[in-house]
Amino acid sequence: MKPLLAMFFSTASRQPVWYVDFEKARKAASRLNKLMVLNFCGAGWDEAGESWKEELFDNDAFRLFAIKNLVLMNVDMNLNKIKSFLKPLAAEHKMLANKYNPEHQFPFTVLLDARGNELTHWSLSQQMSAEKCISDLTKIYFNQSSILRLVK
């Protein structure tokens, strides 16, 4: 029992990695055979995004699921106003928003496969709880895993 408890606490205290570069996130998802989550937000002005982050991404159950199954990417739409050295990332984030979030909703979260194909998306207007999101992610993840096993 002690090893199981130690494993739970060591995993529970870990934080998932959040990428800011799409190509690095995509390569990690491909290498690790994981799905990608793109979270569109606006640092400093997106209060709903902060609430979404606290309710969903800071949720212990979501963090545990993400560490094992997802590659996370934060697509901050305020990068060009933060630091000039982030301008290349700002251009990439704008391109990602145009492709995956053309209505520019905030907060907005997209689930992709490792090739960048959209599997589903969520917006705050859907009143998505962390539990519902994890349930949806689990169904999609295991369906995708089954497909990948058949393809390989």
Q: By the 8 A CB rule, do 37 and 66 touch?
A: yes
Q: Which pLDDT score, from 0 to 100, does residue 13 have?
A: 61
In the block, which residue shows the tokens 């709880």? 129
Q: Which pLDDT score, from 0 to 100, does residue 21 have?
A: 93
Q: What rounded mean pLDDT belongs to the chain?
A: 80
The burial of 29, by beta-carbon neighbours within 10 Å (0-12 exposed, 13-18 middle, 19 or more buried), is given as buried
Residue 18: CB atoms within 10 A of its CB come to 14
Q: Which pLDDT score, from 0 to 100, does residue 4 have?
A: 47
Q: Which pLDDT score, from 0 to 100, does residue 5 have?
A: 45
Residue 149: CB atoms within 10 A of its CB come to 9
Q: Which pLDDT score, from 0 to 100, does residue 127 have?
A: 65
Q: Which pLDDT score, from 0 to 100, does residue 55 have?
A: 82
Return per-residue pLDDT of the chain as tens, 152 residues: 444 444 444 455 688 999 999 999 999 999 999 999 999 987 666 677 787 888 888 989 899 999 999 999 999 887 555 555 567 788 898 899 999 999 988 888 999 998 999 999 988 666 667 788 888 888 887 777 654 443 34
pLDDT digits (tens, 9 = 90+) for 22-47: 999 999 999 999 999 999 987 666 67
Q: Is the peptide bond before 107 cis (omega within 30 degrees of 0)?
A: yes
